[in-house]
Amino acid sequence: MRHATQRSMAALLLMAVIAGHSLLWSQQRVIDRIVAVVDKEIITESELNERVNMLLFQSRMESATPEMRRDVLHSKIADKLILAQAIIDSVEVGEDEVNQALDQQISNLIRQAGSEQRVEQYYGMPITRIRREFRDDMRKQLIIQRMRQTRESTIQVTRREVEEFYETYRDSLPRVPEEVELSNIFLLPKPDSALQVQSERLLRGIRDSVMKGADFGALARQYSRGPGAESGGELPWAKRGELLREFEEVVFSLSEGEYSQVFTTDLGLHFVQLMERRGESVRVRQILLPLPKGEASDSMAVARLLDLRAQAQKGAVFADFAKKYSEDEETKMVGGDLGRVSLDQLAPEFRTVVEQLAVGTISEPHRVAVGNSYGYQIVWLRQRIPAHAMNLTDDFRRVEQIALYFKRNEKFAAWVEELKQSIYWEIRL
C-alpha cells in the first residue's frame, strides 16, 4: 500500500511533469525493504526515498547527504510514534473530517494537474479508487496533526523568554524586508444588463436539457467557468458558513439529488445539484456562468475610482470613502486598511504599482484579479518601512513568533524522546 508521504511526493511529481520538468528520481525503483519498525507500523525504503526526494525538489538540491536521510528517517519515526500514542489514547477523527480533508487533497491534485482525467492517468486508477487508497493515510495524518496541535496549543512564551531568545540568536535572525502600509478602495465592474439576459437564457436552456435527461457533468465541462468545471462541476465538501450566503441558502434548501433553479450571486449565474449531505456539510456540483461585463462596465468602475481619488487628493478622508464605497468586504469596515505587508509578499503586478508610489500618494485605478473574476482598485501608500535588522523595539511580534516556534520544536523533540522510552521502535538500515 502506498503511504501518505508517497502520495505527497506524487503530487509534487505531478506538478513537475505538467510544467515539463525532468525529475532525477523518476528512475526504476529497487526492490523495497523495511528500514524501520515503530510499534505495528513499518517504514519502507521507497517511502524514505520519496520523502528525501520531495525535500530535494523543494530545496532544489541535487543529491541528499547522509545527514539529510538520517533526519528524514527520524522525522518519519516521530510521526509513527505519535500515531502509536494516539491509538493508546484512543484519539480518533470523524468520517466527515476525513472526507473533507480527502476532498480537498483530491481537488488540489485536480487543480495542479489541470483535469480529473490527468490525475487518473497519472495514478493509473479512477478517482473513486484514489479516494479509497488515500483514505487510511489521510486518517493517520489528521490524527497526528490533532495530537501535535493539542500539545502545542498550551505552549506559550513569556516576554522574558522572548528577550532571552533574542539576545541568544540576534545575529542569526533574518533581516526584515522592506514593508509598506496600504489602504485600498476596490470596485467590481457592474454586469452588462443586455449580456446578462443572454447568459440567463443560456443557463436556463442548459437546465431544461438536464431536466430532460442530458448529462450534467458533460454540460458542466462544456459551459461552466467556475471551480470544478473540469471534473463535471463537482465541488469539494463544504460546511455551512464556508460558502457564499446566497449560494448556501439555495444549496441547503435542496434535497439530495435535487436540482436548483438558476440563481445569481456575486460570482455569477448558478445552476446546482445537491449530490450529498451529511449534517451541516454538503457536496454539490454546479454550472457557473460569470456575470458578463463589457467595456462600458470597466469604464464606469475606473471613472468612479478616478473621482474618489481626486476628492481624496483634495483632502477628503480616504478611509471614509473606503467604508462607504469599497467592495472589498474584508477591508472596507476598517477603512480599506490592508495592514503592513512586505513587498516580497505582493503579487508582481501589484508590487510594481506600489513601488512607484511616494508616501502619502494614491495610485491610478488598476485592474486586479479576484479568483475567476476581476475588479479595479486605487491604493494609498500610508507608510514605507525600510529593510532592517530585526529588533525588539520594532519587531517584537516577529521575534515572539520565532521564539515560540523554537520552543514548540524543543518540547516536541523532548516528547518524542519520551515516546521512544515506552513504545517499541527499531531502525533496520
Give the CATH number of the domain where residue 316 resides. Answer: 3.10.50.40
Could you give the CA distance from residue 235 to residue 228 in angstroms, rounded to a whole number? 6
Residues 163, 307 within the same domain: no
Phi first, then psi: what are they for 199, rounded to 5°?
-65, -40
Determine the pLDDT at residue 405: 96
Query: Can you spell out the DSSP letters for 153-186?
Result: TT----HHHHHHHHHHHTTTSPPBPPEEEEEEEE
Q: Which of 267, 289, 311 is the last residue of a domain?
A: 289
Residues 145, 66 within the same domain: yes
Residues 269, 259 within the same domain: yes
Residues 206, 344 within the same domain: no
Residues 204, 70 within the same domain: no
Q: Is residue 360 part of a domain?
A: yes
Q: Which of 289, 306, 339 is the last residue of a domain?
A: 289
What the block records as the C-alpha cell of 418 is 519520551
What the block records as the C-alpha cell of 376 is 479595479
Q: Is residue 418 part of a domain?
A: no
In b/e form, how buried is each residue of 183-204, taking b as 16+ CB within 10 angstroms?
bbbbbbbebbeeebeebeeebe
> How far apart are the two ends of the chain, measured CA to CA in Å?
21
Residues 61, 141 within the same domain: yes
What the block records as the C-alpha cell of 387 is 529593510
Ramachandran area for residue 360 (φ above 0: left; ψ -120 to 50: alpha; else beta): left
Residues 284, 334 within the same domain: no
Q: How far is CA 246 from CA 13, 216, 264, 281, in A?
A: 38, 22, 8, 16
Query: Can you spell out the DSSP letters for 209-255?
Result: HHHTT--HHHHHHHH--STTGGGTTB---EETTSS-HHHHHHHTTSP
Determine the pLDDT at residue 369: 86
DSSP assigned state of 362: B
Q: Is residue 23 part of a domain?
A: yes
In order along its 429 residues, the chain shows pLDDT tens digits of 334 334 343 443 343 333 333 333 333 344 689 999 999 999 999 889 888 887 886 677 888 899 999 999 999 999 999 999 999 999 999 888 898 888 888 877 777 777 778 888 877 888 888 888 888 889 999 999 999 999 999 999 999 999 999 999 999 999 999 999 999 999 998 887 777 888 999 999 999 999 999 999 999 999 998 888 888 999 988 888 888 889 999 999 999 999 999 999 988 899 999 999 988 899 999 999 988 777 888 999 999 999 999 999 999 999 999 999 999 989 999 999 999 999 988 989 999 999 999 999 999 999 998 866 789 999 999 999 999 999 999 999 999 999 999 999 999 999 999 999 999 999 997
Q: What is the pTM of this model?
A: 0.62
Could you give the CA distance from residue 273 to residue 283 in angstroms, rounded to a whole number? 9
Residues 53, 77 within the same domain: yes
Could you give the CA distance from residue 54 to residue 72 in angstroms, rounded to a whole number? 11
**CA-based nearest residue to 310, from 240, 376, 259, 378:** 378
Pairing of strands 366-370, 373-385: antiparallel
313 CB-near residues (< 8 Å, 6+ apart)? 362
Q: Is residue 398 part of a domain?
A: yes
Domains in the chain, number: 4
What the block records as the C-alpha cell of 203 is 443557463
Q: Which residues pair with 278 in a beta bridge?
A: 281
Q: Is residue 87 part of a domain?
A: yes
Q: Is residue 330 part of a domain?
A: yes
H helical segments located in 89-126:
95-113, 116-123
Residues 125, 197 within the same domain: no
Could you give the CA distance from residue 393 to residue 385 in angstroms, rounded to a whole number? 14
Range of the domain at 35: 4-154
DSSP assigned state of 124: T
Q: How far is CA 7 from CA 2, 38, 105, 225, in A?
A: 7, 20, 10, 29
**CA-based nearest residue to 164, from 399, 395, 393:** 399
Q: What is the longest distance spanned by two Cα atoms in the chain?
A: 75
Q: Is residue 21 part of a domain?
A: yes
Do residues 359 and 384 touch, judged by C-beta distance below 8 A?
Answer: yes
Measured at the alpha carbon of residue 304, what is the angle toward residues 302 and 309, in degrees to the nearest 5? 90
Q: Which of 262, 289, 316 is the last residue of a domain?
A: 289
Residues 167, 208 within the same domain: no
Residues 142, 42 within the same domain: yes
Residues 267, 168 within the same domain: no
**CA-based nearest residue to 78, from 389, 429, 422, 412:** 412
Q: Is residue 258 part of a domain?
A: yes
